Amino acid sequence: MKYSTSDLSKILGVSGNTIRRYDEMGYLTGERDEENGYRRFAFADVEKLMYVTKYRREEFSHDEVSTLLNSPSEEILSAMEKKRGKIRDEIERLKAIDHLLKDDVMMINRARENLNKLIRKDNSPMHFIRYMVGDDLCITPSRAKTLRRFMEVCPEFYYMYLFEKDDVESGIPRCSSGVGANTIMTEKYGFTPDDETELYPQKNSVLRFVKVKTGTDEDELKIGGKLWHELFGPVFEYMKEAGLSLTGDVMALKIGSFQEDDRQMQYLLLHFPVG
């Protein structure tokens, strides 16, 4: 019995165009009906296409499918195991992305729920690599290499601002930019710190989620400036009332960026080490 393109389409659950494309690619050995000019196929073609569609569902490329159709079972088994390995690697990659998204959702929700609240707790120890001080890049070839290695090895990192203690207390804080990650994460992913990596140890801190516009203005960062008040004002008032002082640099983790009233805004999580 001979089968039409329409028959194969129904049997295999693919479109007629797919059958015609597979025919053009050489998977089929059909013959043209002299009476009506349509292609007709033997049952062997049906069975062959069953394996073509099976291998395609398993995400083998057409070149790989062509090879599999003409390979001994040992080579087919080897190709399948190799494919499984790639799929497992992809599953792990997607799991890591899902974990990043889960953390982003959690942190943005926390920022929305706790905006401007003061939270007293120990901060997580952080590894930090800076690439800008104010508007000036500070990337040496050695630091660029460390920065690239850090971001490749440790996917769970934050873009960060850092304000040095002496600058904050002088009322003219300079904003350094860089990347950082919890030391638990750097250890988990096997990142080995070097001389370009700064360690900020665990300290009792005042944490505060804030919402500010993106970008920094040096005048606004000075005491009395709008941004200084948004970032530091309430925490310094609390520290004064509680008899506390700043004991280290202030870190600001970038949580998320968004549009609000035609302005680009961002959530930051500020860490003020106190004692």
Is pLDDT of 218 > 70? no
Same topology, domains 3-70 and 114-273? Answer is no
Contact present, 164 and 212 (Cβ < 8 Å):
no
Fold of the CATH domain 3-70: Multidrug-efflux Transporter Regulator; Chain: A; Domain 2 (1.10.1660)
Tokens of 111: 């920022």
pLDDT tier for residue 216 given thresholds of 50, 70 and 90: low
pLDDT at residue number 242: 95
For the chain, give the percent of residues with pLDDT over 70. 95
pLDDT at residue number 14: 85
Helix, strand, coil distribution of the chain in percent, nearest 5: 45, 25, 30
Q: Hey, which of 225-229, 259-263, 266-270 has the most confident mean pLDDT? A: 266-270
pLDDT at residue number 74: 96
Q: Which helix (H) or strand (E) holds 188?
A: helix 183-188
Q: Could you list the beta-strand ranges (E) of the chain.
A: 3-4, 31-32, 39-41, 118-122, 126-133, 136-137, 158-163, 175-182, 198-200, 204-213, 250-260, 263-273
3-class SS string, 244-264: CCECCCEEEEEEEEEEECCEE
Structural domain boundaries of the chain? 3-70, 114-273
pLDDT tier for residue 274 given thresholds of 50, 70 and 90: very high
Is pLDDT of 264 > 80? yes
Residues 167, 174: Cα–Cα separation, whole Å = 6
pLDDT at residue number 155: 87
Residues 33, 31: Cα–Cα separation, whole Å = 6
3-state secondary structure of 214: coil
Tens digit of each residue's pLDDT (9 = 90 or more) over 171-210: 878 889 999 999 999 999 999 999 999 999 999 999 999 9
Average pLDDT over residues 269-275: 96
Tokens of 248: 């280290």
For the chain, give the percent of residues with pLDDT over 90. 61
Tens digit of each residue's pLDDT (9 = 90 or more) over 20-74: 888 888 888 777 776 766 788 888 888 888 898 899 999 999 999 999 998 999 9
Fold of the CATH domain 114-273: Multidrug-efflux Transporter 1 Regulator Bmrr; Chain A (3.20.80)
pLDDT at residue number 173: 80
- Burial of residue 201, with CB atoms counted within 10 A of its CB: 0-12 exposed, 13-18 middle, 19 or more buried: exposed
pLDDT at residue number 130: 94
Average pLDDT over residues 149-167: 91
